[in-house]
Amino acid sequence: MPTLAYLLLGSNLGNRQETLRTAVAQLHATAGPVVAQSSLYETAAWGLTDQPAFLNQAVAVATSLPPDALLAACQRVEQQAGRTREIRWGARTLDVDILLYGQEIIDTPTLQVPHPRLSERRFALVPLVEIAPEVVHPGVGRTVADLLAVCEDVLGVERRVS
């Protein structure tokens, strides 16, 4: 039985919209059917702020992959988009984060799920709430809509109208 995993895609270099469109197609082909996707959101950079704004999107994938294999699939999609890891929170062609993997809590040296800073990041919560407002964060037992309502992050997140 597939697990519903929620991913956050982000890009702030190159043709961001095309990068996200291609990433969704590649994830659909390699990780499992993409069963929901949010609108695109223009978001201010978080962490290292002296860089271009991001385009972010949340997707839900019905995956049969175990968490470590899903992570590997996400990293392959990043690499195919030309992602390099040089500076933490630096500019990148593509970033794919696993926000939630069913109701599992995973804490290994290579993967932490739910994403450890999900509840602190408006740019992740806003698109996630669009596609799954009632999903419960297994670490805190609250819906993502509830987490967004109390999120103290003030960085700009604006729905992009195409």
Does 67 score more than 70 pLDDT? yes
Cα-flanking dihedrals φ and ψ of residue 111, to 5°? Answer: -150, 130
User: Does 95 participate in catalysis according to the annotation?
Assistant: yes
Question: Is 68 annotated in the active site?
Answer: no
Active site residue 153: no
pTM score of the predicted model: 0.92
Q: Which of 21, 76, 83, 160 is catalytic?
A: 83
Give the pLDDT confidence of 87-145 residue by residue, as tens digits.
555 567 899 999 999 999 999 999 999 998 999 999 999 999 999 999 999 999 999 99
142 is catalytic: no
Cα 1 from Cα 117, distance rounded (Å): 28
Contacts with 76 (C-beta within 8 Å, 6 or more apart), sequence order = 30
